[in-house]
Amino acid sequence: MGKVITLLTDFGLKDSYVSEMKGVIYSLLPDVAIVDISHEVRQGDISSASFLLLRAYRYFPRGTVHLVVVDPGVGTSREVLCCRTENYYFIGPDNGVLAPAAENDNLKYIFSLNLEELPVALKEVFSGSFILEKIKTPSSTFHGRDIFAPFACYVSTGSPIIRLAVKKERMVATSLPKPVLTEGGVKGHIIYVDRFGNLVTNINVSLIEKDSEVFLKSGYQVISFGKLKRAYAEVKQGEPLALIGSFGTLEIAVNGGNASEKLNATVGDEVLVMKK
């Protein structure tokens, strides 16, 4: 072992899609460890997928290949990318899903896969593999199995990426908003709602001055949460609070409850942090 490939898709776990990707990966790399980041991304939700990748990527061993298949443009001419960063490889479609994580880890090179070279290069590296015959004519709707998975295996071996890809200067940018410094403090947005209904913002702890107060704009309402708390249990059961979440940014939560439902708030809503 030692090598890790992570998977992040919107395929769900009901069907066999994810398992087919894993079958291809184990066929080519019997000793790899495969970790699911999530397969429950909403269909085509590039923004949420890019957030999950940005959160999770850094907790994996150096050299991990992070493979993302949230790919509403499958079958069109959108490109297939591999980003080489300081510590990791990121593989996915050129739709912005890789950008936040790759840039966060000090992006070094962007490669665009040459689809015609892929089967040739695979044959060189994994000569004689049983599986190559089965994926050599890619399905037009499931590049995850037929293109992305074997490409990730190729990259995971450390083989030269330039053999089957060309460098490019730019990729599609992220649609995740950035926080803005204002006179009174910081203005940011909810960028993700987790399973517990916690409202994750893009306002990093480093932007928040001591004793600032937190506000949420939801529809016509402005809700105040007072100062940052340290733990859920600092407020009563069912009460809302603002705290720094495990992503290192401001989060709005309800102790033992669901903030998104209770506050009727969701991705895109504005959050303000006002200096004292």
Indicate whether 1 belongs to the interface with a second copy (CB under 8 A).
yes
Indicate whether 250 belongs to the interface with a second copy (CB under 8 A).
no
Site for a second copy in 22-81 (CB under 8 A): 22-24, 26-27, 30-31, 33, 35-40, 43-44, 52-53, 55-56, 58-62, 64, 72-76
Indicate whether 259 belongs to the interface with a second copy (CB under 8 A).
no
Tell me the closest approach of the beta carbon of residue 174 to a second copy, in angstroms: 17
Q: Which stretch binds a second copy (CB under 8 A): 5-13, 116-124, 216-224, 265-273?
A: 5-13
Indicate whether 219 belongs to the interface with a second copy (CB under 8 A).
no
Indicate whether 202 belongs to the interface with a second copy (CB under 8 A).
no
Tell me the closest approach of the beta carbon of residue 167 to a second copy, in angstroms: 27
Tell me the closest approach of the beta carbon of residue 94 to a second copy, in angstroms: 15
The helix (run of H) or strand (run of E) holding residue 52 is: helix 46-56
Name the burial class of residue 110, with classes exposed (0-12), middle (13-18) and buried (19+) by CB atoms within 10 angstroms of its CB: buried
Candidate residues 170, 195, 236, 276; the one interacting with a second copy per rule CB under 8 A = 195
Report how far apart the first and last C-alpha atoms of the chain are (Å, whole number). Answer: 52
Indicate whether 130 belongs to the interface with a second copy (CB under 8 A).
yes
Indicate whether 220 belongs to the interface with a second copy (CB under 8 A).
no
- Residue 188 in contact with residue 273, Cβ under 8 Å? yes
Q: Which is nearer to a second copy, 198 or 212 (CB)?
A: 198
CA–CA distance, 93 with 69 (Å, rounded to integer): 7
Indicate whether 94 belongs to the interface with a second copy (CB under 8 A).
no
- Residue 196 in contact with residue 260, Cβ under 8 Å? no
The helix (run of H) or strand (run of E) holding residue 26 is: helix 17-28
Candidate residues 98, 110, 126, 145; the one interacting with a second copy per rule CB under 8 A = 145
Distances in whole angstroms, Cα of residue 215 to Cα of each of 59, 191, 270: 31, 15, 9
Indicate whether 126 belongs to the interface with a second copy (CB under 8 A).
no
Closest by CA position to 170, among listed 83, 69, 47, 71: 83
DSSP secondary structure code for residue 149 in this structure: H
Q: Which is nearer to a second copy, 62 or 276 (CB)?
A: 62
Indicate whether 256 belongs to the interface with a second copy (CB under 8 A).
yes
What would the two tokens of residue 252 be? 């709005």
Distances in whole angstroms, Cα of residue 67 to Cα of each of 24, 42, 157, 196: 14, 17, 14, 26
CA–CA distance, 204 with 2 (Å, rounded to integer): 32
Indicate whether 227 belongs to the interface with a second copy (CB under 8 A).
no
Indicate whether 204 belongs to the interface with a second copy (CB under 8 A).
no
> Which is it for strands 65-69 and 89-93: parallel, antiparallel or unpaired?
parallel
Interface with a second copy by CB under 8 A: which residues? 1-2, 4, 6, 11-17, 19-20, 22-24, 26-27, 30-31, 33, 35-40, 43-44, 52-53, 55-56, 58-62, 64, 72-76, 87, 130-131, 134-135, 139-142, 145-146, 194-196, 230-233, 243-246, 248, 251, 256
